[in-house]
Amino acid sequence: MKKNVPRLARLAVPVVLCGLAAQSAAAETNELTWRTSAAKLLYFQADSPVSGRVTDEKGAGLPGVNVVVRGTSNGGQTNADGRYTLTAPANATLVFSFVGYTAQEVAVNGRATIDVSLAPDTKTLNDVVVVGYLTQNRQEVTGSVSTVSAADVRRAPVATVTESIQGRVPGVQVTNSGIPGQEPAVNIRGVGSISSGGGPLYVVDGLWTTSIRDFNPQDVESVQVLKDAASLAPYGSSGANGVIIITTRRGKAGTPAINFTASGGVQNIRKTYDLMNAQEWAAINNLAHDNGGVARLPYADRLPGIDTDWQKEFIKQGSIQDYNLNFSGGNKGENSSSNFLIGLGYFNQQGTVVGPKFERYSVRVNSGFTRGRIRVGESLLLTRANQTRLNGTPFIDLGRMLPVVPVYDPTHPGGFGYGDLNAQTYGTNPIAQQKLFTTPTTSNRLQGSIFGEVDILSFLRYRLNLGIEYLGYHDRERRQYGFWRYGDPNVPSYYAENQGNNLFGLA
């Protein structure tokens, strides 16, 4: 029932024609129209392979250098000899970054080979990073600790912090399913455990947690990834799979500031399978039955006038919306200072297929006070998240459902079409499964921490951390009356729910 997936190059003719038409119109109107048309033409250009070698100031290959297409998560790392290979549009810009070296941006300009030489960044080598209970200079922990700036984290329009560091940290693999509200899988320097999971430990302002889905990435001030045994030792077995330390934003001395940011965009599945239409399916199905000496299927012998494109019916355009409002400030005296930050956030993501969606409301309150050698601060985060999951294996069923089966059929219980004696298939109607069976979940999470710190000597500091995390969840399961697959038993409608809560304290 499948054909070869068409290559993107086949779309070049209509795209180029549209671009030429826009170019002609631009010559008669204004330069702005030409620029818009040219941008559209470049946008549809096919990706092409790009390879090269990254070296240091002495010409030696640099392993582990991040090579990413700017503005995307498409990228990889150089091998032991400093060589890399990836695919990128002809008009793209590649970003080369490595700890201790100055990042470079290089335009592809249609080239297939790009070699780059990175220069040491002496400024970043003197930066101070947090390693367990200590602070050390960057040059002393170059390979074991990686830092991602707040600007890089906030720039990405994603739901979680881990998605924003994807492709930016050597040795960290982030796998995202694309399902709204599902936390990505993160592996730091490979999988550390088979039975107990491979996810890292997250430390948010001193509070330990294993889930970061409900954390607002716009609250980030810095992200540090600890990867080696020495830096992970203070966390014991909890840090066996790596530790990601997140420091949140705080107010600064001066005039109180109000900051509002809004971003949005659309998501689309770029490529789909080239499946048979009703006539093509009928021709091959009849040929198979004739060769086997078996009677033809009624709907293959006489087409019912139905031609369903199941991919077109199930796949839709997704969307992302992100709104954040912050009010911050502080003051600084001769021997004391204080700061505060209050932030509100709303995130909404609609999936690229029928069914899944995710939304999150967040409130953050941070404050701190310093007087002499004593520092006191607190961080508080309250979130509410609503998620609707994806049910079944719909992408398999898209290839199993026949084009002569309608999506909706009022003669069937529930009102959806599925296989029968006229067109036998045991595939599941993916749209019916998402609409008749829903699994929404709601979670309320409170994360709070408070610390007190005193400088005993110039080289000795005592710090006390107290943290608490509360999670209340409410899972529902709704099954409406109806069928989505041929031959299924009569399943009555039902409703089930599960409520509970978890409490975690840290001192």
* Alpha helices in 357-441, H assignment, sequence order: 394-400, 430-436
For residue 7, pLDDT beyond 50: no
For residue 140, pLDDT beyond 70: no
Which pLDDT band holds residue 129 (cuts at 50, 70, 90)?
Answer: low
Q: What is the CA radius of gyration of the chain?
A: 28
Per-residue pLDDT, 34: 34
For residue 195, pLDDT beyond 60: no
Per-residue pLDDT, 154: 84
Task: Give pLDDT tens digits for 434-483.
Answer: 999 999 999 999 999 999 999 998 888 898 989 999 999 999 999 999 99
Q: Tell me which residue has tokens 């054909």.
A: 3
Half-sphere CA count of 446, side-chain side, radius 13 A? 10
Indicate the SS3 state at residue 57.
coil
For residue 121, pLDDT beyond 60: yes
Cα distance between the two ends of the chain = 60
| Least reliable range by pLDDT among 58-72, 282-296, 319-333, 467-481 | 58-72
Higher pLDDT, 206 or 347: 347
Strand pairing report for 128-131 and 93-98:
unpaired
Higher pLDDT, 45 or 90: 90
Q: Is 61 exposed, middle or buried (0-12, 13-18, 19+ CB in 10 A)?
A: middle
CA torsion sign for 94, 39, 313, 405 is negative
How far out from the chain centre does Cα 54 lie? 28
Strand pairing report for 460-479 and 440-457:
antiparallel
Sequence-distant (≥ 6) Cβ neighbours of residue 319 within 8 angstroms: 264, 265, 266, 267, 348, 349, 350
Find the mean pLDDT for residues 307-330.
Answer: 95
% the chain with pLDDT above 90 = 53
% the chain with pLDDT above 70 = 85
Task: Give pLDDT tens digits for 17-40.
Answer: 334 343 443 333 333 333 333 333
Average pLDDT over the chain, rounded to whole? Answer: 84
Higher pLDDT, 283 or 130: 283
Find the mean pLDDT for residues 41-53.
Answer: 70
Per-residue pLDDT, 187: 87
| Least reliable range by pLDDT among 12-26, 180-194, 269-283, 429-443 | 12-26
Task: Give pLDDT tens digits for 286-297.
Answer: 999 999 999 998
Per-residue pLDDT, 46: 64
User: 23: which DSSP letter?
Assistant: H
Find the mean pLDDT for residues 40-47.
Answer: 49
Per-residue pLDDT, 276: 94
CA torsion sign for 78, 81, 87, 92 is positive
**Sequence-ordered strand ranges (E) for 333-400:** 336-350, 357-371, 374-388
Residue ranges covered by each domain of the chain: 8-43, 270-314+394-435
Per-residue pLDDT, 3: 42
For residue 142, pLDDT beyond 80: no
Per-residue pLDDT, 41: 37
Per-residue pLDDT, 196: 57
Cα→Cα distances 421→12, 130, 296, 424, Å:
43, 67, 11, 5
The C-alpha atoms of residue 208 and residue 449 are separated, in whole angstroms, by 10
User: Is residue 72 within 8 Å of residue 43, measured between CB atoms?
Assistant: no
With CA atoms as reference, report the closest residue to 169 among 225, 217, 128, 94: 225
Which pLDDT band holds residue 317 (cuts at 50, 70, 90)?
Answer: very high
Find the mean pLDDT for residues 407-411.
Answer: 94
The C-alpha atoms of residue 87 and residue 108 are separated, in whole angstroms, by 11
| Least reliable range by pLDDT among 162-171, 318-327, 391-400, 475-484 | 162-171
Residue 279's H or E segment, with its range, is: helix 278-292
Top-ranked range on mean pLDDT: pick from 120-124, 152-156, 162-166, 356-360: 356-360
Cα→Cα distances 162→150, 190, 202, 223, 485, Å:
13, 16, 10, 10, 38
